[in-house]
C-alpha cells in the first residue's frame, strides 16, 4: 500500500511559524513522524510539500496510478482552492484531510474547506497525531475494514 502525504504552503516553516498554534516541532520532525506512521501502518509513505497551488495540483494528478490514497493538509489553500478540490475529484483516490490546528474554532474565513469536500474524513486539532490517524484510517479503509461516515 502506497500513500502520498501532501502538505501545502508554509508547513515547511513548522516550528518557526506561530508555534502557539502549530507547535514547536519543525517540518523535518513531521517527516520523521510520518515515516514512523508508515512503518506502524505497514504502508509506504511518500511526502510532498509545496507553497505553490499548481505544484500541489500536479502532485495530486501524478499520484493517479501510483498511490492508493492521499493524506492532505492543503494549509491556506484549504479555504480557497477549487483547483485542489477538482484535482482530488479527478484522480478519485481515497483522500483524508488533516489540519494541525482546530480550524473549526478559528477565524470565519477558515470555516470553508474546498479540499475537504473530496475527502472521506477530516482530522483537525490533533497536531501531528492527526496525520497518524489519517494514515491508519486509510489503511483500514483500503483493506475494506472501515467505511466512511456520511458527510
Ligand atoms: C492549517 C490550517 C489552515 O487554516 C492554515 O492556513 C494553515 C495550516 C493547519 O494545519 O492547521 O496553514 O491547515
Residues 124/73, Cβ–Cβ less than 8 Å: no
Q: What topology is assigned to 2-142 in CATH? A: Rossmann fold (3.40.50)
Instruction: Map out the domains of the chain as residue ranges.
Output: 2-142
All three cell numbers of 59: 502532485
> Is there an atom of ligand 1 within 6 Å of 126 CB?
no
Q: How many CB atoms lie within 10 A of CB 83?
A: 16
> Is there an atom of ligand 1 within 6 Å of 134 CB?
no
Closest residue by Cα to atom 8, ligand 1, is 75
- Cite the active site residues: 22, 99
The SS3 of residue 100 is coil
Q: For residue range 66-98, what is the model confidence (pLDDT) as tens digits?
A: 999 999 999 999 999 999 999 999 999 999 999
Q: For residue range 2-52, what is the model confidence (pLDDT) as tens digits?
A: 999 999 999 999 999 999 999 999 999 999 999 999 999 999 999 999 999
Closest residue by Cα to atom 7, ligand 1, is 75
**pLDDT the model gives residue 150:** 53
Q: How many CB atoms lie within 10 A of CB 19?
A: 12
Amino acid at each position: 500500500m502506497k500513500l502520498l502525504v501532501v502538505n501545502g504552503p508554509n508547513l515547511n516553516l513548522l516550528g518557526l511559524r506561530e508555534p502557539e498554534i502549530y507547535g514547536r516541532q519543525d517540518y523535518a520532525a513531521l517527516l520523521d513522524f510520518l515515516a514512523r506512521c508508515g512503518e506502524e501502518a505497514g504502508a509506504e509513505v511518500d511526502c510532498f510539500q509545496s507553497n505553490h497551488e499548481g505544484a500541489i495540483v500536479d502532485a495530486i494528478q501524478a499520484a493517479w496510478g501510483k498511490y492508493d490514497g492521499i493524506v492532505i493538509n492543503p494549509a491556506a489553500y484549504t479555504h480557497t482552492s477549487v483547483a485542489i478540490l477538482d484535482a482530488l475529484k479527478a484522480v478519485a483516490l481515497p483522500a483524508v484531510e488533516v489540519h494541525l490546528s482546530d480550524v473549526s474554532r478559528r477565524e470565519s474565513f477558515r470555516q470553508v474547506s474546498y479540499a475537504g469536500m473530496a475527502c472521506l474524513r477530516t482530522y483537525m486539532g490533533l497536531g501531528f497525531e492527526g496525520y497518524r490517524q489519517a494514515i491508519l484510517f486509510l489503511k483500514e479503509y483500503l483493506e475494506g475494514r472501515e467505511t466512511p461516515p456520511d458527510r
